[in-house]
Structure 1
């Protein structure tokens, strides 16, 4: 210590900072212990929580509870992981995975898993992609929504901006029967299912179990007429003519109707050579997916609501879809999603990735995609949100996204990002202004969690 004071002209604190500036924080990963979990609810996608897991060495990790899911899915796991070494990622994951469920019910488990990899990467001073086995690519192809507009001319301008200015080489669009509600003679049996606003709403009616959006596809008996099919064909043709055939176009959000009508719709759209037809049936209706995939030339995909590889296996074994499509914030996190991709690869299937959250889950996806060979494209859902990228800083420098591709951090440890706290504060969800406040009420385990006798 005596030598420290030989540094002239600096205070004791400044001297300490200078002489330890080259010291790695990752000096004792085997002694790391989890000490805390806190959260902030951002306004991304109408409510997406970011969590921070702290350790006894000052290293912390960022995770994200999937868009639209409750931060408490993660907070209830705090008591199960306190005191554990965060670098034992798989061990902790197996401890908490029983508390996850399908779709957004998995949000807490996945958020914790993301944060653990972030900590582990920082502790060992390597990027997360390195911990997953290494890198197949140094940039990750993105797909973005086609912009909607009030006129074909305006849409043509916006699509040109998306492709030429922003550089996206893969687009996705909705082909929804919601667009047919005001077209006379386009639908059969739709009137019964409309909400009070006259819509066939697929979201936003959580408390009404028997609403159209909460009724599984085979049970609505909504049908599309030939006039309706012609209208949807024209919607797709307009976009295809604007985009051309060099750029893949994926489709989604058709509505809740049965397999027969989905086959009719799929056949009507085959000539446009779409990249895929997404979520035409509930993911767990394996036999329906087999029927759809065998009936159609266009590739099929599902998976954004599937939790864990074990629930992808029936679809993969039966080759019930052509492409698996996990959302890392629901599928189990980075390692489990890579395992899903690797397993699909063995059956000759590609993997696209669904993502609609903050830059935290986005970068978790980027690392996973970089480390997975059969990866196709990653969704970027917030292209038109001007402050979205400003929520974080790339700790290795450079841009997060360049001309339609996400940049894989070459050396920055962990996820390679740090939150811009002032920007996050500006974009909190108005329902909850908590900002990484202490959460001692979640410290205590109050149940015996073993799931076997």
Structure 2
């Protein structure tokens, strides 16, 4: 009996790791494309052969992670909070949070592997054994609400119980009389949109990013001068009605990418949406403008949502405190990682705000989001944006395949993120065209140094 107990215990202990002596020795990155976007993947190596997996936010730069290499080499990755406090000053909102967040997740992966426990256990345990996934759905080209409804209906047939679609001014660029804007402005937007769609795999090249058409999208909503006419309001409302006529009114349906238009038009349109049982309207204004969100939320009876571009849990509080949002929507790879997500979940309980988790990345970020969602008491759903990518699930080895089962992902009990290893051959097939090489040396970042102290 004693022998059997000893053998059972040894099976659950990583005898190749001495956690207190574990040290970070290297960081490598690989950039893949189409999963569904450009995704910079991270490996953190250690002196004991353990490798931790992380990821920089979608459509971002691996530089945000590599610049931190010299700050963490030689550290014990099990001291996640200590290292995070050292590097969090180098994070920022939106994609700028990706380096700090991706490294934080990779350290949790290493700590879990070293100690033999899953990430959700290190965050305090789990509230659920499976996590609901909501499906974000795009339809390319000119289409009707009925067309979108049919695509969403197929998602429901695949088992999804929560849906989201894009709905915004780009649907009306070819519809005369629907939009009001400075003359020539809409034509520039249309040129940009066509170029972005036609560009290989949807990536935006440097020429586009530096051109005048890109700059349109750097103007905040209230300053574009774009308005919806009543005809435009009618057009979009009819689109939503067509969608509901196909999918019914029972399934939750969220709306994203409304467009950079003034908040007064957003309020008018949101009022029209009240009869269509909208789960939330997302990013209807820049998240920084708390008063804008407060004004919109007080004027309409549709849940208002934002948050995928907010770094650190503390920066969500003004929106919640002032009643600007009913739903917050953080991304694991912007918010600061798993521990910040846990803090944010507790803050949601304090203010009575719902949480859904943004996720448009590889299985690495997805599994991190699943662990975080399991550890947070009240979570609506985690986004899934890769239904139509047949190779997505195969990028990593060790997770369920298929990962999604009837619209849910089961929370793994395996150590760390629950990923055994990466599928290196498949990754090689999807290397981003602008970033040749796979896990190449990063010694050029070994001696990066600055006096990082923020006080004297």
Output the TM-score relative to the length of structure 2: 0.90
Q: Is 1:327 aligned with 2:331?
A: yes
Displacement of 1:23 after TM fit?
6.8
Deviation of 1:208 after TM superposition, in Å, equals 4.6
- Matched ranges for 1:14-413 at <5 A: 24-25=14-15, 27-43=17-33, 44-148=35-139, 150=143, 155-164=148-157, 166-189=158-181, 191-194=183-186, 196=188, 198-199=190-191, 201=193, 204=204, 205-208=208-211, 211-394=215-398, 399-409=402-412, 411-413=413-415
SS in 2 for 1:85: coil
Give the superposition deviation at 1:171: 0.6
Change (3 A) 1:319 1:197: closer
What is the rounded CA distance, in whole Å, between the counterparts of 2:12 and 2:81 in structure 1? Answer: 31
After TM superposition, give the deviation of residue 318 of structure 1 in Å. 1.2
Contact 2:356/2:382 (CA < 8 Å) preserved in 1?
Answer: yes
Gaps of 5+ in 1: 1-19
Name the structure 2 match of 1:435. 438
User: 2:190 aligns to what SS in structure 1?
Assistant: coil
Structure 2 contact 189–216 (Cα < 8 Å) conserved: no
Report if aligned partners of 1:194, 1:212 keep a CA contact under 8 Å in 2: no
- d(CA) in 1 for partners of 2:230 and 2:249? 26
Counterparts of 1:323 and 1:54, CA distance in 2: 37
1:409-433 CA-partner distances (Å, limit 9, x unpaired)? 0x21100112111111111111112
TM-score, normalisation: structure 1: 0.91
CA distances 1:57-113 after superposition (whole Å, capped 9, x unpaired): 111100000011110110010000000000000110010000011100111001100
Following superposition, the deviation at residue 394 of structure 1 comes to 2.4
Distance apart, 1:138 and its partner CA: 1.0
Report how many residues are paired. 431
For the 8 Å contact 1:63–1:361, the answer to whether it is kept is yes
- The structure-2 alpha-carbon separation of the partners of 1:272 and 1:199, relative to structure 1 and needing over 3 Å to count, comes to farther
Q: CA deviation at 1:400?
A: 1.8
Rg larger for:
1
Q: CA RMSD in A?
A: 2.0
- DSSP 3-state at the match of 1:424: helix
CA contact (8 A) 2:326 2:353 kept: yes
Which residue number in structure 1 is paired with residue 418 of structure 2?
A: 416
Does 2:451 correspond to 1:448?
A: yes
TM-superposed CA distance for 1:191, in Å, is 4.2
